[in-house]
Homo-oligomer: A and B are copies of this chain.
């Protein structure tokens, strides 16, 4: 009775082909690299940058809406917002008809930081994907859509 009859057999998990594992390695590598960049240059943590990024694209969201859009949790957003307020990268304005929530906006200083980081981020993305053909890029986009949708559903 051989113990290791089949390498990808029933009871074995081949980690290097296991999707969640591969995604995690890739995502950590990719995000980690850019993070180093804006951490050093702007003293921004990943959650802070994420909040800024989404506010740059959708000014005036509330913290709850930021939470939805970023798949961060609300405590994480709350703390990122607090730090960003303290460093004057964002500001808050009242929400008409709801005194619990506040609209969030990048300040002028926030915009400045944002517009410095965006090209860096773009450039980094470009480098990571530079070996992909146009076709492969389209495939990637499509696959990410499908996988994300499927993962959300479970």
Chain A: residues with CB nearer than 8 A to chain B? 10-15, 17-31, 33-34, 50, 53-54, 56-57, 69-71, 115, 118-119, 121-122, 124-125, 127-132, 136, 139-144, 146-148, 150-152, 154
Contacts and interface: CB of A to CB of B under 8 A. Distances in A.
Identical copies of this chain, number: 2
A130 B50 CA distance: 31
Nearest to A117: B13
Nearest to A69: B15
13 contacts: A13-B57, A13-B118, A15-B57, A22-B144, A23-B144, A26-B148, A27-B28, A29-B152, A127-B154, A131-B146, A132-B146, A132-B147, A140-B143
Q: What is the interface of chain A mostly: helix, strand, loop, or mixed?
A: helix
A53 B21 contact: yes
B15 A53 contact: yes
A148 B71 contact: no
Instruction: Give the interface centre of A20, A50, A71 by most chain B CB atoms within 10 Å.
Output: A20
